Homo-oligomer: A and B are copies of this chain.
Amino acid sequence: MGRRPVKPASEGRRTIGIDIGGANLKYVCTDGNAASYPFAMWNRSSELTSSLVDHLSQFLPASSWAVTMTGELADCFLDRKTGVEFIVDAVCEAARRIGSQPSFAPEIRFYGVDGRFHRADDAKRLFEVVAASNWHALASQVAKTIAGDATLVDIGSTTTDIIPLRKGRVATSSMTDFQRLVGQSLVYIGCRRTPVCALVDRLWFNGASSRIMNEWFATIDDARIVLGIEPEHPDDCESADGAPRTVARSANRIARMIGLDQTFVSVEQAAKLAVQIMDSAKREIHSAFDAIDQPRGPIVISGHGRDLFDVPEDREVIDLSTELGGEISRCAPSWAVANLWADRSKAALVRKGRPSCDVS
């Protein structure tokens, strides 16, 4: 759990933003608490409901859960429709288990790339709108509250989002994952999970250019650890070979990419390989950035992979982690979706004298 409540909210108006990703479950409450848990959807989808119950029970009861997702694309689901249905049902079931009395059951809404919130049934029907919506939630909230004319560059563990914002709104017509891959506002490169074999075809070693082994032997995480960008985590074995996330083991994993190993590749030599891997990732992200039509405002940088993006010298930078604090910024889409819903409810309350329920 993160920081203590920063702006105590009555239970009646407390909203928890929930970001159900393919590799993590992230939560931010409007009372200022935040939490993030690794969750490999493709292996553990059957545990989703119980994990949600476990995690959400650690927050104070909230009147609303605002949900955004990308986890529906995990290949444990036949297709995105099935994935959205599964996730929506899991959230509703988690709410039933947590809120045993109707008065305690949270109101649940699912955010869509149409910028609106949808009830469970509508979310399932509009699965294309609700799928892969977390980038839109973050971009909308940043546009509303941080910088109305800007470019959001959000580099997470798996992907990079590059979103132009104009006049306080998301300014792209690319909405689905496919449209965004075509338009390059989605680059499927992040700072943790991206496999080395997807980043480079060859690596220079000892003056020779080697083809690589197309195996999941190493990820970009290993390059960042070897280069000291990411600290060592000796107790964490969430790596390609299941060995610890240490410099020595990361160097060994990288060496494997060219048919070698620690016996023949020193950490210093592995660092030279790591630089090539990082350079390739940076090049791809920059090429996408350059292809996107953007306003001349600041760049709002977000996510823990910001080292993968060298900000152009002529652009002002706003660091979302400075704005929000590290804990919440690690769960930025959850922060966004919680506040988008809370603000919307507040506005509806002012407008109609009661909370709005029919939003879809």
Contacts and interface: CB of A to CB of B under 8 A. Distances in A.
Contacts of A79: 252, 261-263
Interface of A: 73, 75-76, 78-81, 132, 176-178, 180-182, 184, 186-189, 194-195, 197-199, 205, 208-217, 240-241, 243, 252-253, 256, 258-264, 288
A178 B217 contact: no
B209 A195 contact: no
B176 A259 contact: yes
Contact of A256 (B73, B209, B211): B73
B81 A259 contact: no
B195 A181 contact: no
Contact of A188 (B178, B194, B199, B213): B213
B188 A212 contact: yes
A189 B214 contact: yes
7 contacts: A75-B256, A177-B260, A178-B210, A178-B258, A188-B215, A195-B214, A197-B197
Contact of A181 (B181, B197, B213, B262): B213
Contacts of A243: 78
Given A78-B261, A79-B262, A186-B259, 8 more contacts: A73-B256, A75-B241, A81-B261, A178-B210, A181-B210, A181-B212, A181-B259, A188-B212
Given A188-B215, A198-B197, A259 B75 contact: no
Nearest to A194: B214
A240 B252 CA distance: 25
A75 B240 contact: yes
Nearest to A177: B259
Among A132, A197, A208, find the residue whose CB has the most chain B CB atoms closer than 10 A: A197
A75 to B, nearest CB: 4
B214 A259 contact: no
Contacts of A188: 211-215
A184 B201 CA distance: 12
B184 A211 contact: yes
Given A75-B240, A178-B260, A216 B216 contact: yes
